[in-house]
Structure 1
């Protein structure tokens, strides 16, 4: 019995060696082939990042500053300059830069906004107050904490300040509603400074407009609707 057991073990080992000898060269060739596939460069990754943003062939390509987490200091923001075709219309331009900001940086560890968050609507009031309406994921997926929440808001504000000079102040809505906080700490009932230079000069105030209302769908879809009127009482 012991002799038969040893025989079967030897046969099994021999069979395994034969199989390994056959498939090892095949596996080795596949590994070499995979290694030869060129990995995308950082610039290629950035181009792929911006392809999803709606653009017009007539939009000029300009250097655009987007603010994500600094690679040297995770508690601070740092501007990243990319070339992006941006509309001259401030509302469309703001949507383009914010959608790119939401898409995130090449290094996903440096993103400031949740990957599943989306910009639902954006418009600018006559006094320069921008209203950005985000999906619920901005509130539910942003890590709860003063630093993470403040960096999320600041990245939006600083990106708008650098690319859309018509925006002076910012009001953030979540799915069309005003929330008390973003994720438990940063107050979303307030209005945020975008034009920091004007704020230092005292040229803008942080008083909320009398009423904020999303524009009708027909107005929001109009390319030149850079300014909409506040709804009447």
Structure 2
């Protein structure tokens, strides 16, 4: 016979697991709904106009290098909007332009692969000086199809995006990836898109 307290403990653990699963599913649905609302309320031509009229700023792109699996800091100057969500999207667009350029160190043919980037506040950690944010990066299917398959090239693509966001918007400490507004298992068959990535995941790849 199983002792009563063990049955009670098992039931409590099972209930906690179910509740956590429901909460995580609901959080994902809310993130998706808010992301789609942001996309609908801010057309592409408005974003382009806002970016073109914004002051030029120096930004740092963490560009992937397939030769040694590293991320190389590259400084560029571009007009940058003030809105953090729009800034994050411009950062992703400029990074992907680097990959579509001739003689790229990490070639990907499709340079227009980010539909939207939406920032969500995270619970403030005890002792933290500021509240962190999660970036939800919505990739389009055409970019995913253009991504070279393989664990290393796929991982470098994701890490370069995460590192670029964090380098220019330090409040971004976590990143999730969607494809056409939906969760996808992998980027191109290998790199996991179901998990939350941390900005700290990129530290070992960044070249000093």
Shorter-chain TM-score range: 0.5 to 0.7
Root-mean-square deviation (CA, aligned residues, Å) is 2.5
2:115 is matched with 120
Aligned residue pairs, count: 144
Change (3 A) 1:170 1:53: farther
2:129 is matched with none
Matches within 5 A, 1:27-176: 55-57=51-53, 59-70=54-65, 73-104=67-98, 106-111=101-106, 113-127=108-122, 128-176=133-181
**Structure 2: runs of 5+ lacking an equivalent:** 1-47, 123-132, 204-208
Q: Determine which structure has more spread, i.e. the larger CA radius of gyration.
A: 1
SS of the counterpart of 1:144?
coil
- State the TM-score, normalizing by the size of structure 1: 0.55
How far 1:83 sits from its partner (Å)?
Answer: 1.2
Larger RCO, structure (CA 8 Å, separation 6 or more): 2
**CA distance in structure 2 between the partners assigned to 1:82 and 1:171 by the alignment:** 25
Deviating runs (4+, > 6 A) in structure 1? none
1:191 is matched with 196
SS of the counterpart of 1:183?
coil
How far 1:126 sits from its partner (Å)?
Answer: 1.9
The Cα offsets for residues 24-55 of structure 1, whole Å up to 9 and x where unpaired, read as xxxxxxxxxxxxxxxxxxxxxxxxxxxx8962
How far 1:79 sits from its partner (Å)?
Answer: 1.1
**CA distance in structure 1 between the partners assigned to 2:73 and 2:160 by the alignment:** 9
